């Protein structure tokens, strides 16, 4: 008899145990009406992922335990797999419970605990040791949780875009226990190219073990992480048999009949620009919604970074929840004002202008005695930025909206940003995008609808904090800068390795020096959406006080 499975790719809210439970039970009721045999939810679906130090609170664990019991009492005539934290004795486990007719008939503990990049699971959980296989509609179903299917090569596969072809220990154990099907519950965060890596990992394990696999992934934004969904299944030969959507909730049904998996869900993978853009949109939407902000504020400069930030915000929240503020100074070009106004009008957002020159002049008058005989330098440049930051935060305080900062990864890497100025705000949309990536995504966004004026995309980037200023007056070209940042930050390549790739030693040494001396700035910057294999956040934990500069004495 065929086994009908519903893969519940859902958006769970960390800490909102009651709402997560209600969503799961609603899906179970719908599945029963459609004669589904098995409902699969993502990793830690009951409490959301990652719960971080909430897992250290006994009251939080008690709420999860009691809510799980209430869910079990509701289940009849169907099988549900739900992810949750579980304490047994003195140990806490990342667990999955199999519920049938009011009873927990099996419980699995995650065996491979990732403790690299954005993952901290060894801080909280003890690794499980036993496989779990249970029966549904005459089919023996095994369980794994996320890293289990990646095995010992998990870290290498997720960071180097390659898959080590060896049997994963947890998958082998399930196969040896007689499973006909493997279900993998996941909270696998997005970065560019991750969807293809996941597929290769799961297809490799399916083929090595001649075992069909169902892969259920979480969806949604959680602080800097975005979970992109993209749940799928493959047959025993590793051929993809079902594919859910990305960046949206999905209830994907698949059928297993004598080792053959069939489904009407055949979504396509997304190209890189679209996937990254949708990750930004989802990250902003969920950060604003889950933290109950009424809307967002953006300082619109007429430049490319604020333009892309505005487009993302409108796509995430709608024009009515976005306000753009232009704050021109004596150095602001007329084209900047024109382009900012045109873009805001085109998108239909609330727009206003506040001149900052009178405030700047007032500050300079107050500081005239202290600055006597001193030339105009970055101090005056930063003062303009801090005036703008103060204005935006004042509007935020008055109206409750969240300030979205507009700095990119190139700027965050080199410190080309002002503390308490353009870094002031609550969420950094472009924090993990290099300048070149900002341009690529701006061009992509205009293929959907032309919302970013072409002049913004074409003009040389400038902070407009002094006369005739260009970014490349202070930095190497972004083509060079971004490449060096990528090699050093994302792939941990040393100075000598990067120079050997053909970059000038003076450029490499300067950029690496800037990366290290600006750690104190990044530590004080707001969280932002992670879209690369390594962003400045949970997976970048360098000391502020350090003399290391990436050079080795020979």
Catalytic residue among 43, 278, 464, 490: 43
Q: Tell me if residue 62 is catalytic.
A: no
Indicate the DSSP class of residue 523.
Answer: H
Biggest CA pair distance of the chain: 88
Indicate the DSSP class of residue 488.
Answer: I
* Alpha-carbon gap, residue 182 to 387, rounded angstroms: 57
* Alpha-carbon gap, residue 160 to 24, rounded angstroms: 35
Query: Given the structure tokens 């120079």, which residue do they identify?
Result: 499
Task: Please check whether residue 269 is in contact with residue 195, taking contact to mean a CB–CB distance below 8 angstroms.
Answer: yes
* Alpha-carbon gap, residue 531 to 490, rounded angstroms: 11
Q: Tell me if residue 52 is catalytic.
A: no
Q: Tell me if residue 47 is catalytic.
A: no
Indicate the DSSP class of residue 519.
Answer: H
Q: How far is CA 499 from CA 159, 478, 487, 491, 493, in A?
A: 22, 17, 10, 14, 10
Helix axes 194-209, 169-176, angle to 10 degrees: 40
* Bridge partners, 185 (sequence order): 145, 216
Catalytic residue among 12, 47, 64, 146: 146
Radius of gyration over alpha carbons of the chain, in Å? 26
Catalytic residue among 12, 47, 63, 110: 110
* Bridge partners, 79 (sequence order): 38, 100
* Alpha-carbon gap, residue 323 to 505, rounded angstroms: 44
* Alpha-carbon gap, residue 24 to 74, rounded angstroms: 11
Q: Which of 75, 64, 77, 65 is nearest to 26 (CA)?
A: 75
- Cβ atoms within 10 Å of 359's Cβ, excluding its own: 18
- Which residues are known to be catalytic? 43, 110, 146
């Amino acid at each position: 008899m065929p086994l009908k499975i519903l893969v519940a790719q859902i958006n769970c809210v960390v800490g909102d145990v009651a709402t997560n439970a209600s969503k799961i039970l609603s899906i179970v009721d719908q599945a029963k009406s459609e004669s589904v045999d098995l409902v699969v939810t993502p990793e830690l679906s009951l409490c959301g992922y990652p719960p971080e130090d909430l897992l250290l609170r006994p009251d939080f664990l008690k709420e999860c335990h009691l809510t799980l019991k209430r869910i079990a009492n509701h289940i009849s005539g169907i099988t549900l797999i739900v992810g949750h934290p579980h304490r047994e004795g003195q140990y806490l486990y990342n667990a999955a419970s199999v519920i049938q007719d009011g009873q927990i008939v099996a419980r699995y503990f995650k065996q491979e605990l990732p403790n690299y990049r954005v993952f901290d699971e060894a801080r909280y959980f003890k690794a499980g040791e036993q496989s779990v296989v249970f029966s549904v509609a005459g089919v023996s179903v095994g369980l794994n949780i996320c890293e289990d299917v990646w095995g010992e090569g998990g870290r290498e596969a997720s960071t180097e875009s390659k898959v080590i072809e060896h049997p994963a220990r947890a998958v082998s154990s399930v196969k040896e226990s007689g499973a006909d099907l493997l279900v993998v519950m996941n909270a696998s965060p997005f970065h560019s190219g991750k969807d293809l890596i996941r597929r290769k990992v799961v297809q490799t394990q399916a083929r090595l073990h001649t075992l069909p696999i169902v892969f259920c992934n979480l969806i949604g934004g959680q602080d800097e992480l975005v979970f992109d969904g993209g749940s799928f299944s493959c047959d025993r030969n590793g051929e993809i048999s079902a594919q859910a959507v990305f960046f949206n909730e999905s209830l994907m049904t698949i059928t297993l009949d004598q080792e053959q998996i069939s489904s009407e869900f055949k979504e396509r993978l997304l190209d890189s620009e679209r996937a990254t853009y949708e990750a930004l949109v989802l990250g902003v939407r969920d950060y604003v919604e889950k933290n109950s902000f009424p809307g967002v504020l953006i300082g619109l400069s007429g430049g490319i970074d604020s333009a892309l930030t505005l487009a993302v915000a409108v796509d995430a929240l709608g024009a009515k929840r976005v306000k753009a503020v232009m704050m021109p100074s004596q150095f602001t070009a007329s084209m900047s004002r024109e382009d900012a106004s045109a873009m805001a009008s085109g998108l239909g957002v609330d727009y206003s202008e506040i001149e900052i020159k009178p405030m700047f002049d007032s500050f300079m008058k107050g500081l005239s005695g202290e600055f006597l005989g001193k030339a105009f330098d970055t101090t005056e440049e930063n003062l303009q930025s801090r005036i703008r930051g103060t204005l935006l935060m004042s509007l935020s305080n008055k109206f409750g909206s969240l300030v979205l900062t507009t700095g990119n990864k190139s700027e965050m890497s080199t410190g080309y940003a002002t503390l308490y100025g353009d870094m002031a705000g609550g969420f950094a949309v472009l924090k993990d995008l290099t300048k070149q990536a900002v341009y690529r995504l701006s061009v992509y966004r205009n293929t959907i609808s032309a919302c970013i004026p072409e002049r913004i995309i074409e003009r040389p980037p400038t902070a407009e904090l002094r006369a005739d200023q260009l970014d490349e007056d202070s930095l190497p070209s972004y083509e060079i800068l971004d490449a060096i940042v990528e090699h050093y930050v994302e792939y941990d390549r040393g100075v000598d390795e990067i120079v050997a790739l053909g970059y000038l030693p003076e450029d490499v040494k300067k950029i690496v020096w800037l990366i290290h001396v600006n750690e104190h700035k990044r530590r004080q910057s707001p969280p932002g959406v992670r879209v690369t294999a390594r962003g400045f956040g949970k997976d970048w934990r360098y000391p502020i006080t350090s003399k290391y500069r990436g050079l080795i004495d020979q």
